[in-house]
Structure 1
Amino acid sequence: MTTEGAAAKPSWQTRAITALLASRGQKRMLGSAEGVQAAVQKRDRRVKEVRAPAFLRKTATVTRDDLDGWPVFRITPTAGPTDVSVVFLHGGGFFAEIVRPHWSFVRELSAAIPAQVVVPIYPLIPHGSAANMVATTAAIVTRTIEQCGSGKTVVMGNSAGGLLALAAAHAVRDQGGPQPSRVVLISAWIDATLSDPALAALEQVDPLHQRPGMAEIARLYADGLDLRDPRISPLFGAIEGLPPLTVFSGTHEMVLADARALTSRAEAAGVPVDYHEGPGLPHNYALMPSPEGRAARKIIVDACRTPRHGRPAVTADRRNSSC
């Protein structure tokens, strides 16, 4: 386990961003099932078609290749061929659509690795649920592996997108085909049962989340399945046979319990895991425009360049292929 900045307080940038996010009322909305239902209804009244923002086209080619009715965007840097592909699943609690900071992260990954980044736009609750969402995500991962190779394909997600990323990795493994080279989980929510005893204390320091609303999201996402089903709570799925894991969590977020439990299980099962814990840092700190976020993203970029057998997938003198 790596603990970043154990002796330091979060930077002023992180504190300012966290305060801004907290001021938007998400924690209040997650205080009850009714709050989540009202947010979903408000979202559906304003629903718009998702389009990749224009700023991506300054440094990349953007194409769309749908699967099972999902828009699937591919962002490929124009500076030269790529040797890595990243399937990125955005966060938002399964009730919020992809937002500009996610796209900015995609742009950074595409240019810095460099990589083709595949961005599925999955349906939101209650219009999508675990059974079909995991199956389609696994199909997208498998298709990407077929195009780029198992040693060159990373599956990544933040928050609820991390749940979907890990659940899809389970499904791909269980299908017996080629595996991704790595799974990167950023503040991933992977235990929808919310049963860890540590959550009571973590809820007090997390500025964005509460259990009642998260429980309602889990209920809608499960759509009748048991909450311990690995498609809903991949923490409880078999971990043997998964690719190497890179995991990020701050100590001021409820999913810290999930990250620590997954890391312990991976270490016990002999699955390589690279765990980074940020003292005092909030949910999704790795995506923030802050010193802590920039440091985390450098680790993520380096991890994506490294296939399962440990050698860099992209080097300065070997960028002669394209996924």
Structure 2
Amino acid sequence: MVKLWKLLLQKPLKSCRFLYAIGAQILLVGLKAILLPSLPRYQSIRLQLHRAYWSSSSYYFPEVIHRLPVTNCPETRAHRVGSEFTGYVIPGTAELAVAPEDRRRCVIIYAHGGGYARGEARMYLNYMEEWVKGAAEVGLDLVFLSVEYPLTHEAPQPAQQEAFLSAYRYVLDIGISSRNVIFMGDSAGGGLCVLSLLNANRTTLPQPAGSVLVSPWLDMSLPSFRGGNALVETDYLVGGNLTVPTFVNAWLNGEPGDSPQVNPLYCALSEFEGVNPVLILVGGGEFALQEGKDLARHLEDAGVRQHLEVEWGQMHLYALGSKWVDPEVRRKTDAMIYRWILECLAGE
């Protein structure tokens, strides 16, 4: 909130537009609740207010939502590792070490979202710290290695995949078993995890114990955007019909969107052979809903154990656990993530 007020003071004209946008949306939410109380609502008033704030922020001040750029972050919260790649260990006081027989300690290699064009490895620091704390309550010891992969303006694909897999090799090289590793990512980071699973299959790299995908964005052929994606009306990415294709074109760098090199949904089912369990968490009101469903179906057809959770009315990235999300939904989602990781570590 402090960062938001600083930006508002620094950019008064844009601030007026932001305040008008959020104010008008809140007014409409209130009027609809008062004037049409019996009309069925798909999204709760809480969700609609969440959307009003996040949609206004994402359109005028996108850096506010995840407090970007991350500055003044002490080493005790996230310490840097890697030479062939850059990553941050979270919590910063943790060591990347797991005894081979330990089935309750896990290194999560994390890929952040942002359309391959925005974001950084430490932007989800608060969420990761909450997951570490919550997991400890159920006897699960989590350590995150969040990967600082190059953004599109620095290098198009496959540079992001190479950085993520370099982080995985680093973890394996220091003696951590793949059975104690989970791939996790959100949005574009979720797609990056799937591409990395397939790349591992094509090489000599072992599969991680499992994966957790938060609102994965991975279908670069953009079928949901032909004729426009109506789900931007229930998501906070209000400009998605313009920005998403732009991000895709920049990242593809000339590669066709339906190429198996960049689109897992166009890979042969045989390429998924040996992939370990995948948990997919998507919101019912988010722009990437259909590709989450398509991925689940593709994995099922390939014989990969998967679970698709579609949370009623929720927006993109709901499973990260924003304070805006209903506490009961947060508790249920976190419990599902912990249970899934424990089952993967146990080889179930």
Normalising by the residue count of structure 2, what TM-score does the alignment of the two structures yield? Answer: 0.72
Match of 1:226 among 256, 272, 276: 256
Whether the 8 Å CA contact 2:122–2:146 is kept in 1: the answer is no
CA contact (8 A) 2:216 2:292 kept: yes
Equivalent residue, structure 2, for 1:201: 230
Encode CA deviations 1:140-189: one digit per residue, 9 max, x unaligned. Answer: 12332443211110000001111111111111121132110111110010
Q: Report how far residue 199 of structure 1 moved.
A: 6.2
Q: Taking every aligned residue pair, what percent have the same amino acid on both sides?
A: 22
Q: One-letter code of the match for 1:286? A: A
Residue 96 of structure 1 aligns to a residue whose secondary structure is coil
Correspondence 1:267-282 to 2 at 5 A: 267-282=300-315
CA apart distance, 1:212: 2.6
The SS at the match of 1:127 is: coil
Does the C-alpha gap of structure 1 residues 166 and 199 become closer, same or farther in structure 2, counting only changes over 3 Å? farther
C-alpha change, 1:11 and 1:107, in structure 2 (3 Å) is farther
Counterparts in 2 of 1:99 and 1:308: CA distance versus 1, 3 Å: closer
CA displacement 1:198-235 (0-9 Å, x = unmatched): 96333443331523321110111111222123443223
Q: CA deviation at 1:84?
A: 0.8
Matched, 1:285 2:301: no
Residue 107 of structure 1 deviates from its aligned partner by: 1.3
Matched residue type, 2:244: M
Cα deviation for residue 18 of structure 1 reads: 2.5
Cα distance change of structure 1 residues 271 and 21 upon mapping to structure 2, 3 Å threshold: same
Unaligned runs of 5+ in 1: 1-6, 30-38, 41-46, 312-323
Instruction: Pick closer, same or farther for the CA change 1:278–1:236 going to 2, 3 Å.
Output: same
Which of 205, 218, 234 is the equivalent residue of 1:190?
Answer: 218
Which residue of 107, 118, 123 corresponds with 2:145? 118
Q: For 1:101 and 1:206, how far apart are their aligned partners in 2?
A: 21
Corresponding position of 1:74: 89
| 1:16 counterpart residue number | 49
Pair 227,275 (structure 1): closer, same or farther in 2 beyond 3 Å:
same
Q: Which runs of 5+ in 2 are unaligned?
A: 1-39, 99-104
User: 1:120-269, aligned counterparts within 5 Å?
Assistant: 120-146=147-173, 147-196=175-224, 200-209=229-238, 210-237=240-267, 238-269=271-302
Q: Which has the higher contact order (CA 8 A, sep 6+)?
A: 1
Q: 2:343 aligns with which of 301, 306, 313?
A: 306
Is the radius of gyration larger for structure 1 or structure 2? Answer: 2
Aligned pair count reads 283
2-structure distance, mates of 1:12, 1:114: 36
CA shift for structure 1 position 77:
7.3
For residues 93-115 of structure 1, the C-alpha deviation after alignment (integer angstroms, 9 at most, x for no partner) is: 22222387611122123332321
Alignment CA distance shift 1:231-1:20 (3 Å): farther
